[in-house]
Structure 1
């Protein structure tokens, strides 16, 4: 885990770079697809999604996180294909961006998670 500073622009800019976003979400999909079936089962999604995008909190109860996953499965189906997984991640990051707004926030994230990828992406774009 690492602390980083970001704004909504960090996440939206990352999602908007379609080529990079698709490539990175495909990489994460392959990592989460433990049985290499080409779809993510509810079990695979539950095991890995929190490391990709923080959807769980240490203060949230199991019942609350069950509600989040149930909503995901209702909206995207029980077995996610890569395109649906990408759409799911885009929705999660967009919702986070709306919540963060334009003011910088400090967030503790996984070193190899999507939010950190978004921060790196923003740094690379600023360097161009």
Structure 2
């Protein structure tokens, strides 16, 4: 875990760079697809999504996170292919960006998680 500072533009900058975003989400998909069948099952998603983006936290109850996962499966289906996974990640980052607005955010994140990828992407862009 690492502490970082970012803004909504950090997150949206990665999402809007289609080539980079596709490459990064494909890499995460490969990591999460434990049985290598080209689809993410609910079990695979639950095991790895928190590492990619913080879905679970110390303060959220199991019931609350169950609601999050149930909403994901209801919206995207029980088996996520890479394109659906990429759409899910784009929706999560977009929702986070909207929630944060233009204010800088300080957050503890996974050092190899999607938010850190967005921070690294932004720094490479010279912003």
TM-score of the pair, normalised by structure 1: 0.98
Quote the residue 1:58 is aligned against.
Answer: 58
- Give the gaps of 5 or more residues in structure 1: none
Quote the residue 1:104 is aligned against.
Answer: 104
Q: Distance in 2 between matches of 1:57 and 1:95?
A: 17
Residue-by-residue CA offset, 1:82-120 (whole Å, 9 max, x unaligned): 000000000000000001111111010000000000000
Q: Distance in 2 between matches of 1:90 and 1:34?
A: 22
Q: Distance in 1 between matches of 2:68 and 2:96?
A: 14
Quote the residue 1:4 is aligned against.
Answer: 4
Q: SS in structure 2 opposite 1:126?
A: coil
- Give the gaps of 5 or more residues in structure 2: none
Q: SS in structure 1 opposite 2:91?
A: helix
Alignment of structure 1 residues 30-49 onto 2, 5 Å: 30-49=30-49
Quote the residue 2:85 is aligned against.
Answer: 85
Quote the residue 1:14 is aligned against.
Answer: 14
Quote the residue 1:95 is aligned against.
Answer: 95
Quote the residue 2:123 is aligned against.
Answer: 123
Q: SS in structure 2 opposite 1:108?
A: strand
Residue-by-residue CA offset, 1:12-38 (whole Å, 9 max, x unaligned): 000000000000000000000000000
Q: Distance in 1 between matches of 2:117 and 2:75?
A: 25
Q: Distance in 1 between matches of 2:47 and 2:29?
A: 12
